Amino acid sequence: MLTEMKDPRVHLASVSRVSIAPDLRTATVMISAVGDDPERRAVVDAMRHAEGYLRAQLGHRLENLKSAPHLQFQLDESIAYSVRMSSMLRELDPGPTPDAVPGEEPS
């Protein structure tokens, strides 16, 4: 459904996780997006703005449900967090020195 939306802000977004309440009335949708913080937050804002459209699409596709759940969109920070941690770890490890011989212990 994200690819069918006309809003250009959501083209680099993906749904990373969905949690549905036991009564099937509410679904929390975790959104992962590429870009800096303002761009990623704009994606979530666009998704919130399009909730009616998305609920209607879900209603058509999930015919066995009495009504489509209300959608609550949240930004999934896990990918941004892992990228940030990887970057910090790379900064800590300077890598091999130019005169190091593979397989030998440094002296």
pLDDT digits (tens, 9 = 90+) for 34-89: 888 888 899 999 999 999 999 998 888 888 888 889 999 999 988 777 777 888 88
Confidence of residue 3 (pLDDT cuts 50, 70, 90): confident
> For residue 80, what are the contacts with CB-CB under 8 A and spacing of at least 6?
40
Q: Are strands 70-75 and 13-20 parallel, antiparallel or unpaired?
A: unpaired
Cβ proximity of 58 and 15 under 8 Å? no
pLDDT at 106: 58
Can you tell me the mean pLDDT for 11-29?
90
Write down the pTM of the prediction: 0.70
DSSP letter for 41, please: H
Confidence of residue 98 (pLDDT cuts 50, 70, 90): low
All structural domains of the chain = 2-84 (3.30.300.20)
pLDDT at 35: 81
